[in-house]
Amino acid sequence: MKFKKVIPRLQVLVLAGVAFLLASWPAAAAGLEISAGLSFSRSSYGDGNYSWTRRWGSSVGYEFNDRSEIEFAFQEVLDRTYIEGYQDTTFHDEVYSFNWVQNLLGRNSPLQPYVKVGIGQLNRDASGVYAGGSSPPKRLDVVTGVLGGGTRLYLTRSFAIRFEVTSYLEGGNIRTWQDNVGATLGLSINL
């Protein structure tokens, strides 16, 4: 299935689902959370060899009650690795996901750990070569599972610092959890 065909369908389904929930859920129990986060890591292996990753993302969540939330999230990852004679690759990932977020403590707690699980679309563009001349697939568009967890530290009743670790399960395969793991630090606002 092509990227241009999958994303509009996913966006329509997500928007329709959110609109339905917003229209049908009691306003007193609902809340809206908007968050954004980023991370950057770099490793130098000497002699001009290096690896770096830049990750950023944002999400909009709808809180059913003080412990349960649905979330639409977007994350972009750029990963560059250069090891002379072994690997010279660049991976650019975009992940759109729809997730269930379960808070472990209630809304009144200043520290809110949570876990999340969901489904999404992973779109990857890759370039470069490995040792021996092989190359990664130039384009990968697959449905992906999402597993994650994190915590929010509320500085005020509606403003929090958010730390999250997320794994994208390429093709929904749980055995690939360690292939696409990343951590982000960001902010969260409850409306």
> Going from the N-terminus, what domains does the chain have, and what CATH number goes with each?
3-190 (2.40.160.20)
List pLDDT tens digits, range 22-69. Answer: 555 554 446 889 999 999 999 999 999 999 999 999 999 998 888 899
List pLDDT tens digits, range 66-106. Answer: 889 999 999 999 999 999 989 999 999 999 999 999 999 98
User: Is the confidence at residue 17, as pLDDT, over 70?
Assistant: no
Across all residues in the chain, what is the average pLDDT? 85
Count of helices and strands (H, E) across the chain: 1, 8
Kindly give, in sequence order, each residue whose CB lies less than 8 Å from that of residue 29, ignoring residues fewer than 6 positions away: 63, 64, 65
Q: pTM of the entire structure? A: 0.76
User: Is the confidence at residue 109, as pLDDT, over 70?
Assistant: yes
DSSP 76-126: EEEEEEEETTTEEEEEEEEEEEEEEEEESS-TT-SEEEEEEEEEEEEEEEE
What is the DSSP code (8-state) at residue 24? H
